[in-house]
Amino acid sequence: MATLLPVVLAGGAGTRLWPLSRTLFPKQFLPLAGEHSMLQETLLRLSDVKVSPPTVICNEEHRFIVAEQLRGIDLLGRILLEPVGRNTAPALTLAALVHQQEDPLLLVLAADHVIKDQEAFTEAVEAAIPLAEEGNLVTFGVVPDSPHTGYGYIRRGDARGQGFAVSEFVEKPDTARAEAYLKSGEYFWNSGMFLFRASRFLKELGRHRPAILDACRQATQELSQDLDFIRVASEPFEACPDDSIDYAVMEHTEDAVMVPLDAGWNDVGAWSAIWDVRPHDEQGNSLRGDVLTHDCENCLIQGQDRLVAAVGIEDLVVVDTQDVVLVAHRDRAQEVKHLVEELKARERQEVVCHRKVFRPWGNYDSIDHGQRYQVKHITVKPGAKLSVQMHHHRAEHWVVVRGTAKVTNGERTFLVTENESTYIPVGVVHALENPGKVPLELIEVQSGAYLGEDDIVRFEDNYGRT
């Protein structure tokens, strides 16, 4: 049997799940439906399928999150970086070209789907393998259980092995049409998951969208490896057309085949879908965090660092984060995207990042700020080191509250332990390292005329950042 290579597309933004999902930490990296993140759940779902180490495709700015989450489940794999987002067809083309020498079967998965029945998922993949080995381009059609108007549909044709030829792909229907699709039994939800040989995909892409193939070929002519990451050339990829796998190839090829998937699939595209996939109490509420309710029904309430209390509400979504509280009717949860658009127009940081920001060395939590000052709680992992850097506009005062810090402050390098501090003047080259075995925690007080994160001049960095 040919090598089966999982290719996980992890470049989405997940704007409908704001405020938990944000630009710098979108939904695929969050534990929304279980104890693991959605990316981790996607990879763990392959445990019963014989596959080679996966390739995860993500944005440059998410690379350290992906690497950390792979290590968190003891999984080795390639991390292929997109210089910019260009939709799913160019992303997959990069993976197919990187692996074209071994020409594996590519099992293309989204990083942000929920599949409750792992056994049924495994059976569907195994049913699709012979069809893909015959040269077909296989898509997985979800057996619908409702007349959903938020999904595209696939109409089945004649039987092909354990699947069906694809008769047509259909755009998202209105309610009446969706009800007719469900009643007919001929239509399936379009899952956005695929299985085909790399060379077959590239051949069909060259036939139907040669501009995408040409741009990606140019981008992969000079690959570079950096730590866990594979980089492609930015300029040719930025010139690549933006298109999905469906529009670029699947709707045009004569060899599209569908394998039914009845495995409790959900693309969790909105908070209402999160309510669908999470457990409920006797009143139909899905509660997570420190939540207290009285006489509430069919609500999704999620807390984070404080008690969330609710009385006498129905069918609402309440999501509390460190810097935002969202309240929405469950039936209108899709409209959260309009809030995100407005926040972007106002250039508000709440749409970009959480108060707690993750870095390859650990994280920081911006606990207070005002005119000319900012206070952060910084946590550095054992053995990790921040870049050797300098700031033009701010000074920093570090107070260690846990662990031991190895500090470079100008010409001096020394240890700072609990209840000790050091002061970094403006313009002084400095570095922070955790040489110990426990997490290092410190309070950083910044002061100055400009406190933006872009006021960093890096001279040396263990993580390849410029």
pLDDT for residue 3 is more than 80? yes
The pair of structure tokens assigned to 274 is 């999160």
The pair of structure tokens assigned to 407 is 């500090």
The per-residue pLDDT for 50 is: 92
DSSP sequence for 231-295: E--HHHHHTSPP--HIIIIITT-TTEEEEEE-S-EE---SHHHHHHHS---TTS-EEESSEEEES
Range list of β-strands (E), 353-426: 356-359, 362-370, 373-380, 388-390, 394-402, 405-409, 412-416, 421-424
On the question of a common fold for 4-266 and 356-460, the answer reads no
Separation of CA 85 from chain center: 13
Question: What residue spans define the domains of the chain?
Answer: 4-266, 271-337, 356-460
Q: Are 127 and 259 in contact (CB under 8 A)?
A: yes
The per-residue pLDDT for 342 is: 96
Q: What is the CATH number of domain 4-266?
A: 3.90.550.10
| Predicted confidence (pLDDT) per residue in 35-44, tens digit | 999 999 999 9
Instruction: Look up the CATH superfamily of 356-460.
Output: Jelly Rolls (2.60.120.10)
Rounded to an integer, what distance in angstroms lies between the CA atom of residue 462 and that of residue 210?
A: 39
Q: Please state, in angstroms and as integers, the Cα–Cα distance from residue 257 to each residue in 127, 194, 428, following that order.
A: 12, 10, 62
CB-count exposure of residue 397 (10 Å: 0-12, 13-18, 19+): middle
Q: What are phi and psi of 364, to 5 degrees?
A: -135, 150
Rounded to an integer, what distance in angstroms lies between the CA atom of residue 160 and that of residue 196?
A: 15
| Predicted confidence (pLDDT) per residue in 370-422, tens digit | 999 999 999 999 999 999 999 999 999 999 999 999 999 999 999 999 999 99
Average pLDDT, the chain: 94
Query: Which of 46, 48, 82 shows the shortest CA–CA distance to 66?
Result: 82
Rounded to an integer, what distance in angstroms lies between the CA atom of residue 229 and that of residue 411?
A: 33
Q: Are 176 and 148 in contact (CB under 8 A)?
A: no
The per-residue pLDDT for 43 is: 96
Taking the CA of residue 349 as centre, how many other CA atoms within 13 Å lie in the half-sphere pointing to its CB? 9
Strands 362-370 and 356-359 turn out to be: antiparallel
